[in-house]
A and B are shown apart, each in its own frame.
Chain A
């Protein structure tokens, strides 16, 4: 039973009036929520508060990192040798594929130059690691250890070695929050690598499943099809693998039930890539028309000190169309030249040299 000995509140003369205090603070919380949700005016406040709690997140992350480091440093020789052998084998295989892709990429670039279209070459990448911090068991969000000081911006695409991982939703000074493509509030425009069918892949809240709700029964999709990003929303670079179709049910209604499995290691990756890429020229007017507040990321000013070597870093911000949104309502706005996006099916690995180069 609770100990009573200390500091009993006297029954008479209760100090500050509790209810008034309560109502004031409640009004403040509601005001904060409205300001945060509707007007994004208190991003600065959030940035300060995040700076305050950042050490806590680091502290939580630290033991895990230390364990990794210790096990890494004291790994036995046999295991390291084994690992090295495996990596060498994989590298050899990858190099082999790369030789083929180099030629393909060259050809692709020539063709695109002919069409004056320089879409979606990942210009600059930054490796970020995922902090070992649990945000919410029911939302697929993770915290990265890179933030505004590294030039991260809201709506930036995040990839891992195997495909598209998610996009940045909040930028703090030294950390940023990423929504995974499997989050129930996320949608990404994709197309089948085989047939070129374009549609939208929506997260389900299950880390191993995306769903494609807008596929008609006649669509040319098969289990095993690789879905790649189209780049139509302007958030993700085109041509990167997103998911693999696992199941199609064509029954009854107009729309087929299609499930896909994300190719990125959403629950395994510890390190991911933040990507800057150039926009297709066709979408420039659209970008200009985008709400002006979108072009000023949460902490403006911090976006500029990007590494000087890079060409105009952080080219542009996410148009709201594919920002984590209620997907079903908004088909991604179709650009003047959808065919351009449809035809270019850059193979994922073709972009890897860029990734490795940084």
Chain B
């Protein structure tokens, strides 16, 4: 497989993050809404694993900040969540790339749980505590979607190379 140009990669990364952020606010039917997976976060994890030089922490933080603004949350809440997940993924990157897909999905599950825990915690600190179990659903839907994200990402990079 030919090496994809760095610029094309970068563009692909930005586009998929933008798409993930847009999909975070697209209206869904009420039964699907609580299950909405964090696609921007999954895209970020994927790109950190495949091209860590491009998907730096600065972009992770910025994407989170944009999500805060889009959703009208406390500024910095999702930014911190994205940053933390990005950092841990960067740290685990070399190991995670060797894992079979199911094991990867399991790690992604833990990463998403970490992310949602941060969000939940900050929600509590800022007085928006919402404790129903439903808020943890995106953790599972996201982990289930991980193989699809990888497949989609791989096919995109291959086609554009």
Residues of A within 8 A of B (CB): 1-7, 9, 11, 15, 18-19, 21-22, 25-26, 28-33, 35-37, 42, 45-46, 49-50, 52-53, 56-57, 59-60, 64, 132-139, 141, 143, 170, 177, 184-185, 205, 326
Closest partner residue, chain A, to B55 (CB atom): A7
* Docked CA distance A18–B86 (Å): 10
Counting chain A CB atoms within 10 Å of each CB, the highest count among B50, B54, B66, B132 belongs to: B50
Counting chain A CB atoms within 10 Å of each CB, the highest count among B1, B26, B27, B76 belongs to: B76
Does A9 lie within 8 Å of B25, measured CB to CB? no
Cross-interface CB contact of A36 among B3, B21, B74, cutoff 8 Å: B74
B: interface residue count bin? 35 or more
Does A60 lie within 8 Å of B25, measured CB to CB? yes
Within 8 Å CB of A49, what residues of B? 65-66, 69, 75
Residues of B within 8 A of A (CB): 1, 3-4, 6, 9, 21-22, 25-28, 33-34, 36, 46, 49-54, 56-58, 61, 64-66, 69-77, 79-80, 83-84, 87, 90-91, 93-94, 96-97, 100-101, 104, 122, 126-128, 130, 132, 134-135, 150, 153-154, 157-158
Does B46 lie within 8 Å of A2, measured CB to CB? yes
Cross-interface CB contact of A29 among B36, B49, B79, cutoff 8 Å: B79
Within 8 Å CB of B90, what residues of A? 18
Cross-interface CB contact of B27 among A29, A35, A132, cutoff 8 Å: A132
- List of 4 A-B pairs having minimum Cβ-Cβ separation, nearest first: A32-B76, A29-B76, A29-B80, A33-B76
* Docked CA distance A170–B84 (Å): 28
Given A29-B80, A56-B70, decide whether A7 and B51 contact each other with a Cβ distance below 8 A: yes
Cross-interface CB contact of B36 among A1, A28, A137, A170, cutoff 8 Å: A137
Within 8 Å CB of A30, what residues of B? 76, 80
Within 8 Å CB of B46, what residues of A? 2
* Docked CA distance A22–B91 (Å): 11
**What would 29 A/B residue contacts be, using CB atoms closer than 8 Å?**
A2-B46, A2-B50, A2-B97, A3-B1, A3-B154, A15-B53, A18-B57, A18-B90, A21-B57, A26-B83, A28-B76, A29-B80, A32-B75, A33-B77, A33-B126, A37-B126, A52-B69, A53-B66, A56-B25, A56-B70, A59-B22, A64-B27, A133-B26, A138-B34, A138-B132, A177-B72, A184-B130, A185-B128, A326-B127
Closest partner residue, chain B, to A184 (CB atom): B130
Given A25-B58, A138-B135, decide whether A33 and B122 contact each other with a Cβ distance below 8 A: yes
